[in-house]
Amino acid sequence: VQLQASGGGLEQAGGSLRLSCVASGNIYTMNDMGWYRQAPGKQRELVADIRSDGSIDYVDFVKGRFTTSRDNAKKMVSLQMESLKPEDTAMYYCNANGWEATGRNFDSWGQGTQVTVSS
């Protein structure tokens, strides 16, 4: 299963960006889909996770600013980022796990998309 992320870029503080990630492959069912980020010199951290039942977890530092959603038919997860801050600057990765039609489980990562927020 491959994930392709898009939508990053350069934005000013207070601005907005929308990230999207599409999954492809022999997918039978998708469980969790989520977004992580990694800033230079820091560990990768969870930003938001959306489960197959639609329930969502956000990390505290994005609550009220970021919104994630998924479209199961399109095998897509999105991250709408509002009120961006310079500390949101990072490489953003999408992640998805589930089961392939072969019966094998998968846990896949997208290639990352850079988000840079200028002050």
pLDDT in tens, the chain (119 residues): 999 999 999 999 999 999 999 999 999 999 999 999 999 999 999 999 999 999 999 999 999 999 999 999 999 999 999 999 999 999 999 999 999 999 999 999 999 999 999 99
Strands 66-71 and 9-12: unpaired
What SS3 state is found at 51? coil
Question: Is the alpha carbon torsion for 113, 62, 34, 39 positive or negative?
Answer: positive
